[in-house]
């Protein structure tokens, strides 16, 4: 009986002394270059633009935060006419796996104008906040959100 109790006690101490290893999750890398098309609408005008985006740095502060730069050209149409614009932005992309929050700010050149007057529509600033679906190491990008000068937009593109 003492031997059985000793074996059970020894096995119990042996099992509690097992060391486990923590599995470290390394997030996947996003592709560095992206090209996408956005279509947007905001009350009195509609926009269509094409953007090129380059990831500047991934995993800032060892988190799932990436910085990027973006250049875009677009056209707009409203009840008074149409025109074009160019925008330059820098921003942050956060989130894990497939879903990301993106925030950017910059400048809009050739500010969209409304009607026949020379008054610009808004300010010469560009920016957006939105959601992005992009799997790490995959090519498809789907975007939606609110931006200036894009308005409420939806976009689709590829990364490489």
Per-residue pLDDT tens over the stretch 127-138: 999 999 999 888
The pLDDT confidence band at residue 121, using thresholds 50, 70 and 90, is low
- Give pLDDT, residue 84: 81
Tens digit of each residue's pLDDT (9 = 90 or more) over 39-51: 999 888 899 999 9
pLDDT > 50? residue 108: yes
Whether the Cβ atoms of residue 131 and residue 144 lie closer than 8 Å to each other: yes
The H or E element containing residue 3 is: helix 2-16
pLDDT score at 159? 96
User: How does residue 11 score in pLDDT terms, banded at 50, 70 and 90?
Assistant: low
- Closest by CA to 38, choosing from 124, 140, 118, 145, is 145
79 phi/psi in degrees, rounded to 5 = -65, -20
> Could you tell me the residue ranges of all domains in the chain?
30-159
Does the 30-159 domain belong in CATH 2.40.160.20?
A: yes
Tokens of 18: 């097992």
The 3-state DSSP class for residue 15 equals helix
Band (4; pLDDT cuts 50, 70, 90): confident
Residue 65: per-residue pLDDT: 92
């Amino acid at each position: 009986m003492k031997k059985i109790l000793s074996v059970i006690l020894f096995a119990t101490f042996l099992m509690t002394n097992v060391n486990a290893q923590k599995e470290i999750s390394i997030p996947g890398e996003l592709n560095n270059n992206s090209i996408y098309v956005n279509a947007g609408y905001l009350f009195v005008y509609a926009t269509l633009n094409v953007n090129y985006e380059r990831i500047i740095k991934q995993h800032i502060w060892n988190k799932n935060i990436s910085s990027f730069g973006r250049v875009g050209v677009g056209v707009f149409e409203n009840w008074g006419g149409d025109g074009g614009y160019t925008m330059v932005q820098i921003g942050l992309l956060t989130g894990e796996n497939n879903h990301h929050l993106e925030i950017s700010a910059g400048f809009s050149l050739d500010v969209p104008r409304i009607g026949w007057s020379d008054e610009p529509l808004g300010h010469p600033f560009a920016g957006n906040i939105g959601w992005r679906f992009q799997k790490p190491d995959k090519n498809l990008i789907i975007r939606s959100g609110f931006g200036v000068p894009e308005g409420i937009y939806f976009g689709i593109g590829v990364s490489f």
